[in-house]
């Protein structure tokens, strides 16, 4: 092994090791950026002293040469520091200014160390502990520990957490860190959840090409300097590619290409599947606007008399349309909700009766009702009851063999607290039995 006698030798050894270990194919983008105690010590030293040599930084921070070198490389990537003639100094930019302001306000930067920064970045929106755990790839007990440590920075409501609005400097810092990581890697995170992310990048990524990057395969011409990926890599359905494009759209030109994509491939796509996906990717309005556009275009082409079958009650019409896997029926349900006072209890019993039919799709129907509630702003009081029935059915189907809560969470992609609540309810009803193992397992012999 080469001896490490100076900083240049140290750099060459590390960079050579990096070249050997770096994969040739597309790389995975890290979920987030973490700073350690050495990073923080260097930043504080430079805020106090201005320019410093590498030797002085090592002396002032009481860290090893390799720790200081790795921190400097990481801080350079974040565009926090510059190196000129072997002197290190903080850059003059918005990110450094925010850090300096927080430093002057005696902000405790120790709250940003390690996984705490990931947790805080995830709390830009309301989230539950389970969602934070999976999104940040850390354990749920660790999340609860960090939430206790960070309680002065966050607020809680209905078992969900979010950054306090008054922490403007911290919020600006978290946004700037995210933006700088994206710019430095030329990779922009468009959407993320506990089990996947949508990325726009100029790099090759270890994921599945999606959205506009797949349009040429389906006879829609589209070219861009960027690639669109879903991470982790998986086989994507046509519906997923379509909904990903809705989420990635930035202008009217892109929306025009999405309309072309849908029109050319509509017969191959399942409306119920799209409904489920637009909820997950939070693109309900763009999807329903596109539905309205296509329905209007079809109406202009078809001058025939309206032959719709009218039922005796608004509830029957709503039930029929909500169960229909046809473009435009969600829009008709929306109009009924705006005009009529529906009997939701009657509709609930009708939906429950429908489960006897083999083609009844519980999740799709619940997704459609959630879309309608979100679109109209009208509360649909039966959604939770239908969701409880659906959860009980999928859990009963899954635990023919004994399973733990975590195994169920991974298989069903449902939050831990919802699974635990449903399991407790099912044990009380006698649908399942609890096995006193460590960890606890659940199973059933009940046919449901």
Residues 6+ apart with CB under 8 A from 237: 273
Return the pLDDT at 133: 83
Residue 412's pLDDT is 84
- Per-residue pLDDT tens over the stretch 97-130: 999 999 888 899 899 888 898 899 889 888 888 7
Quickly count: other Cβ atoms within 10 Å of residue 355's Cβ.
15
pLDDT of residue 205: 85
Cβ-in-10-Å burial (0-12, 13-18, 19+) of 121 comes to buried
Looking at residue 210, what is its pLDDT?
A: 97
Of residues 66, 78, 74, 4, the one with CA closest to residue 39 = 74
Domains of the chain: 27-176 (1.10.10.10), 186-269 (no CATH), 314-387 (no CATH), 397-443 (1.10.10.10)
Contact 99/173 with Cβ under 8 angstroms?
yes
- Three-state DSSP class for 200? strand
Helix (H, G, I), strand (E, B) or coil at 135: helix
Q: What is the token pair recorded at 144?
A: 């609860």
Low-confidence ranges of the chain (pLDDT < 50): 1-5, 17-31, 305, 307, 309-311, 446-448
Place of tokens 């996984």: 115
What crossing angle do the helices spanning 238-248 and 252-265 adopt, rounded to 10°?
Answer: 170
For residue 51, CA distances in Å to 30, 57, 71 come to 30, 10, 16
Tracing tokens 């194919």 back to the chain, one arrives at 25
Count helices and strands in the chain by DSSP H and E runs: 20, 11
Give the per-residue pLDDT at 184.
65
Strands (E) across 243-369 are located at none
In degrees rounded to 5, what are phi and psi of residue 191?
-155, 150
**Residues belonging to the chain:** 448
- Angstrom distances, CA of residue 88 to CA of 82, 92, 333, 438: 6, 13, 63, 53
Note the pTM of the prediction, 2 decimals.
0.67
State the Cα–Cα distance between residues 372 and 336, nearest whole angstrom.
11
For 198, phi then psi, to 5°, come to -105, 130
Torsion angles phi and psi, residue 435, rounded to 5: -100, 120
Looking at residue 9, its pLDDT comes to: 54
Name the DSSP letter for residue 174: H
DSSP three-state, residue 190: strand
Predicted confidence at residue 19, as pLDDT, reads 44
H or E segment and range at residue 53? strand 52-53
DSSP states along 68-100: HHHHHHHHHHTT-EEEETTEEEE--SHHHHHHH
Residue 162: strand pairing partners: 155
């Amino acid at each position: 092994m080469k001896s490490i006698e100076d900083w240049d030798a140290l750099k060459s050894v590390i960079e050579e090791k990096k070249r050997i270990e770096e994969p040739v194919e597309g790389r995975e983008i890290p979920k987030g950026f973490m700073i350690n105690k050495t990073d923080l010590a260097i930043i504080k030293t430079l805020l106090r002293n201005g320019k410093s040599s590498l030797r002085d930084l090592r002396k002032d921070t009481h860290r090893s040469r390799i720790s200081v070198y790795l921190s400097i490389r990481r801080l350079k990537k974040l565009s926090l520091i510059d190196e000129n003639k072997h002197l290190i100094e903080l850059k003059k930019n918005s990110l450094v200014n925010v850090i300096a302001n927080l430093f002057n306000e005696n902000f405790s930067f120790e709250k940003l160390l390690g996984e705490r920064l990931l947790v805080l970045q995830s709390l830009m929106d309301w989230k539950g502990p389970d969602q934070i755990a999976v999104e940040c790839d850390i354990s749920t007990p660790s999340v609860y520990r960090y939430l206790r440590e960070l309680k002065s920075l966050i607020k809680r409501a209905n078992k969900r957490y979010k950054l306090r609005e008054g922490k403007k400097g911290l919020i600006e810092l978290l946004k700037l860190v995210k933006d700088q990581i994206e710019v430095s890697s030329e990779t922009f995170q468009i959407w993320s959840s506990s089990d996947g992310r949508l990325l726009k990048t100029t790099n090759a990524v270890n994921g599945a090409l999606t959205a506009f990057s797949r349009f040429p395969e389906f006879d829609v011409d589209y070219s861009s300097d960027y690639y669109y990926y879903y991470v982790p890599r998986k086989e994507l359905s046509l519906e997923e590619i379509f909904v990903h494009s809705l989420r990635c759209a930035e202008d009217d030109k892109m929306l025009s290409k999405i309309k072309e994509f849908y029109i050319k491939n509509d017969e191959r796509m399942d409306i119920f599947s799209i409904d489920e996906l637009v909820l997950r990717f939070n693109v309900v309005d763009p999807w329903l606007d596109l539905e309205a556009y296509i329905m209007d275009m079809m109406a202009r082409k078809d001058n025939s008399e309206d032959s719709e079958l009218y039922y005796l009650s608004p509830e029957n019409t709503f039930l029929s349309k909500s169960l229909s896997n046809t473009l435009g029926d969600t829009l008709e349900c929306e109009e009924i909700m705006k005009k009529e006072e529906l009997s939701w209890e009657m509709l609930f019993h009708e939906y429950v009766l429908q489960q006897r039919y083999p083609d009844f799709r519980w999740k799709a129907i619940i997704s459609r009702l959630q879309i309608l509630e979100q679109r109209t702003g009208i509360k649909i009081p039966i959604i939770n009851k239908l969701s409880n029935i659906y959860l009980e059915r999928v859990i009963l189907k899954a635990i023919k063999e004994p399973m733990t809560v975590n195994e169920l969470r991974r298989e069903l992609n449902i939050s831990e607290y919802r699974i635990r609540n449903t399991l407790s309810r099912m044990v009380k009803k006698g649908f399942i039995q609890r096995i006193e193992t460590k960890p606890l397992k659940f199973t059933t012999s009940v046919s449901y």
